[in-house]
């Protein structure tokens, strides 16, 4: 029994020695140093707070179809910072959507340009994406390209930045994306560059509990309505709520700007001529606020300004902006208030 106890004791000592050799002391892991916070900046297009890398690019301006039934719902309008809506011909409007911080994977359907859309785009120095143009646009665009304007036309210019979606009929099935436009542009001599300076002034403030509907009437009975909902406006065309084709969530618009620019019908198709540089009457609507003033667009080298009657910059709500360019006779109604010039 004495020998057995000794063997047990020795065995225990050996096990302890092995355990001690197999478990060396490990130094505690160093505490990671937190990455420095990246200061945010204000988007020059829509006043939203973003990271600097998101606005270190050219603006992309895309001509988007609004033909009834065939083109709706569109793709990518939800992510636009600013959307211009202007009549194209025959009472049908077309959009020019401006993109900076967001990069939607699909934008369209892409359609042709008009000269006044080119002029509206020029102050933003954008990548200008479209599919063809009216006859009177070709000559001026050719000269602008020679002067460095990034005319990303699909048919004979930059076809690699566009594609067709066979689920829709031509010509309402052409699409592009911000990523494709930015990837293709340097190959055609248009390098990326930081975005333009801010065009508008912004001032966040608490949203009201309620706000009246906003209605925009173009020619030919085409009507757009904005209905207030939780700090933003939902957008309707002839009673149909707008949303992207890929997402049923409705558009949420922060500001509506109506600008009255005279237009002249130039042919039997209803094509228009419009001089967009000048000083024009305007009304800016943000939830809980209606401001009458002036839209001042000096020339192609200066971003437009929106001023109240005293000459001060109108303060918009940060978020998506719709600019409704109305011809003479077009009307804007905000609740019981009606504006026409």
- Tell me the pTM: 0.89
Contact call for residues 195 and 42 (beta carbons, < 8 A): no
Encode pLDDT of 216-259 as tens digits. 999 777 999 999 999 999 999 989 999 999 999 999 999 999 99
Beta bridge partners of 254: none
State how beta strands 201-202 and 321-326 pair.
Answer: unpaired
* Residues forming a β-bridge with 162: 176
Closest of 104, 114, 171 to residue 128, by C-alpha: 114
pLDDT at 26: 59
Cα(186)–Cα(20) distance, integer angstroms:
64
pLDDT at residue number 38 = 74
**Across the chain, what does the average pLDDT equal?**
90
For domain 41-340, give the fold. YerB-like fold (3.50.90)
Q: Going by DSSP bridges, is the β-strand pair 174-176/162-164 parallel, antiparallel, or unpaired?
A: antiparallel
Per residue in 99-127, pLDDT tens?
A: 999 999 999 999 999 999 999 999 999 99
CB neighbour burial string for 7-23, b if at least 16 within 10 angstroms, e if fewer: eeeeeeeeeeeeeeeee
- Give the number of other CB atoms < 10 A from CB of residue 279: 12
Which tens digit of pLDDT belongs to each residue from 142-161? 999 999 999 999 998 999 99
Cα 181 from chain centre: 14
- Give the CB-side neighbour count of residue 313, counting CA atoms within 13 A: 11
Percent of the chain whose predicted confidence (pLDDT) is above 70 = 90
| Residue 176, beta-bridge partner list | 107, 162
Q: How many H helices and E strands in the chain?
A: 4, 24
Q: Is the peptide bond before 290 cis (omega within 30 degrees of 0)?
A: no
Task: List the single range of 58-67, 142-151, 243-252, 262-271 with lowest mean pLDDT.
Answer: 262-271
Closest among 23, 108, 8, 115 to 67, alpha carbons compared: 108
Rg over CA atoms, the chain: 29
* Stretch 202-221: mean pLDDT: 93
- pLDDT computed for residue 3 by the predictor: 42
């Amino acid at each position: 029994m004495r020998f057995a106890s000794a063997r047990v004791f020795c065995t225990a000592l050996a096990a302890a020695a092995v355990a001690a050799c197999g478990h060396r002391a490990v130094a505690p892991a160093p505490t990671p140093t937190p990455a420095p916070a990246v200061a945010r900046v204000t988007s020059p297009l829509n006043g939203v707070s973003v990271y600097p890398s998101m606005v270190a690019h050219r603006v992309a301006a895309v001509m988007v179809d609004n033909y009834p039934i065939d083109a709706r719902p569109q793709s990518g309008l939800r992510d636009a910072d600013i959307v211009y809506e202007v009549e194209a011909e025959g009472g049908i409007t077309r959009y020019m959507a401006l993109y900076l911080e967001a990069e939607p994977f699909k934008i369209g359907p892409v359609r042709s340009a008009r000269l006044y859309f080119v002029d509206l785009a020029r102050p933003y120095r954008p990548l200008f994406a479209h599919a063809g143009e009216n006859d009177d646009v070709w000559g001026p665009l050719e000269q602008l390209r020679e002067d460095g304007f990034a005319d990303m036309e699909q048919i004979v210019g930059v076809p690699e930045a566009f594609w067709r979606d066979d689920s829709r009929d031509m010509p309402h099935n052409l699409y592009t994306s911000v990523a494709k436009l930015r990837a293709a542009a340097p190959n055609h001599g248009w390098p990326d560059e930081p975005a333009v300076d801010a065009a508008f002034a912004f001032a966040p403030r608490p949203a009201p509990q309620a706000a009246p509907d906003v209605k925009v009437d173009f020619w030919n009975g085409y009507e757009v309505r904005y209905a207030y909902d939780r700090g933003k406006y939902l957008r309707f065309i002839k009673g149909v709520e707008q949303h992207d084709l890929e997402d049923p969530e409705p558009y949420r618009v922060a500001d509506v700007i109506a600008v009255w620019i005279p237009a002249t019908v130039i042919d039997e198709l209803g094509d228009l001529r419009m001089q967009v540089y000048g000083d024009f009457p305007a009304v800016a609507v943000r939830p809980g606020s209606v401001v009458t003033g002036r839209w001042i667009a000096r020339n192609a080298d200066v971003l437009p300004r929106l001023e109240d009657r005293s000459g001060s910059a109108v303060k918009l709500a940060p978020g998506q902006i719709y600019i409704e360019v109305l011809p003479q006779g077009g009307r804007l109604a905000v609740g019981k208030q009606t504006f026409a010039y």
